[in-house]
Amino acid sequence: MTRLLLFNSWVAHGHVGAQAQIFPLQRLGAEVALVATVRFSNHPGYGNFQGEITAPAEIAALTEGLSAIGALAGLAGVLSGYLGSAETARAVLAALARATAESPGALYACDPVIGDHGRVYVRPGIAALLAEKALPMADLITPNLFELGLLHGAPVTCFDDAREAARALSARLRPNGPRLVLATGLTLAETPPDAIDCVLVDEDSCFRVRTPKLPLAASGAGDLAAALFFLEFLRARNGPAALAAMAARLFAVLSASGDARELALIAAQDALAAPRQSFAPEPC
């Protein structure tokens, strides 16, 4: 049984943040625990939401409670996503350090949620904390196109840019880990208008997987991609194999979602588990 601990947002309605991750991970046989960084009614894309950011003291208390019952031992991996505020982010990083200390073999995957489409949508201080504190703790990161360029410090417009940025970020990850960078949702100069690319880079190799572009209206695809890739990598310990499996499962869900406002995770659960279409990564 693969056991995972998530630090991510939670919404009462819809499938973003942890709600885009928990059920798919469980459907694929993982045991998942969540420490919610925010508790919102829905994602802000609706134009209105209610709820609050989790206080740092609550992050610490929840982590302490998990430790007290032995739930931080034997983890295969820890995944972080949306962090809410700089204060909550600091508490999450402390909790991450405790979890990985109690599960020394666990890998840490950081989904550096900062923004998208040229816009930062997180609170002040989070981007700096991710760049300066989270990346050196991480074994792998899963930025989107905007986050890749922001963390690297230069715009990413073509494959050469993407490789350079990903390799530079890989060198900043935890020295003894796999140092993987999965850049998702790429529309680069070389990407056909009817396609989307993902690029996986470590210190020595680069692989690209290309899938058809879909008229997607739902949020949460990045959250889902991060969780799927992490689980596949934990099981296979093979980057290209994990990339291929992630692409097939993600495309199956997105295809079923169509122009719906939320990901069709429940309706597409069988397709998620056994996708009909495959996508072979190629060296890049």
Query: Could you tell me the residue ranges of all domains in the chain?
Result: 2-283
Residue 79, token pair as written in the block: 């995944």
Contact 201, 170 (CB under 8 A): yes
pLDDT profile of the chain (284 residues), mean per 10: 97 98 98 98 94 98 98 98 98 98 98 95 96 98 98 96 97 97 97 98 94 94 98 98 98 96 97 98 95
Place of tokens 């003894």: 176
CATH of segment(s) 2-283: 3.40.1190.20
Residues 61, 146: Cα–Cα separation, whole Å:
34
3-class secondary structure per residue, the chain = CEEEEEEEEEECCCCCHHHHCHHHHHHCCEEEEEEEEEEECCCHHHCCCCEEECCHHHHHHHHHHHHHCCCCCCCCEEEECCCCCHHHHHHHHHHHHHHHHHCCCCEEEECCCCEECCEECCCCCHHHHHHHHHHHHCCEECCEHHHHHHHHCCCCCCHHHHHHHHHHHHCCCCCCCCCEEEEEEECCCCCCCCEEEEEEECCCCEEEEEEECCCCCCCCHHHHHHHHHHHHHHHHCCHHHHHHHHHHHHHHHHHHHCCCCCCCCCCCHHHHHCCCCCCCCEEC
Q: Is 119 exposed, middle or buried (0-12, 13-18, 19+ CB in 10 A)?
A: exposed
pLDDT at 199 (0 to 100): 98
Residues 156, 33: Cα–Cα separation, whole Å:
35
Amino acid at 171: A
Residues 193, 187: Cα–Cα separation, whole Å:
8
Task: Give me the residues paired with residue 32 across strands.
Answer: 4
* Longest CA span, the chain: 52
pLDDT at 203 (0 to 100): 83
106 contacts: CB under 8 Å, gap ≥ 6: 75, 76, 77, 78, 99, 100
Place of tokens 């992630």: 246
For 258, phi then psi, to 5°, come to 55, -130
Residues 93, 270: Cα–Cα separation, whole Å:
35
Q: Could you tell me how many residues make up the chain?
A: 284
